[in-house]
Amino acid sequence: MLIKVMRKKILVVDDEITICLLLENFLSEEYDVISFNNGINALEWLEGNLPDLIISDIEMPNMDGYEFLGQVRDRGFTKHTPIIMLSAKSESKERIKCYKLGAQDYLTKPFNPEELEELVKKNLFPIHYSINW
């Protein structure tokens, strides 16, 4: 009997189209990736979809990443979805604000693709990830 393994779904939210394309190209080999260029459209998509992980920029027009993160956390069905925040800001106060709003991780742009890959694995497969240590 052949068992089909469901691919994990990652939602990417970034107003920079090049970042969205970069993340799609980098992650789509192993995961299903959907991207939006703003938080408003991403929230609309979340009305009928549930990703396994969200990667969001902080500095975006109309709705910044903090507001997006807060609204994702306020929804019952996405309350526990892991979120990695991306930002060009490297100050610890920015990371702390994200953590207090419910983000699991924070990655500074420009980011190392290998570090992103490890953060994605850590958030999608936390138990299996730790077994490999």
pLDDT in tens, 59-81: 999 999 999 999 999 988 888 99
- Structural domains for the chain: 9-131 (3.40.50.2300)
**Number of Cβ atoms within 10 Å of the Cβ of 10:** 25
| Mean of all residue pLDDT scores within the chain | 91
Per-residue pLDDT at 77: 87
pLDDT in tens, 42-55: 999 999 999 999 99
pTM for this predicted structure: 0.90
123: Cα within 13 Å, side-chain hemisphere: 24
CA distances, 102 to each of 26, 69, 84 (Å):
25, 7, 10
> What whole-number distance in Å separates Cα of residue 123 and Cα of residue 110?
20
Q: Give percent of the chain with pLDDT exceeding 70.
A: 92
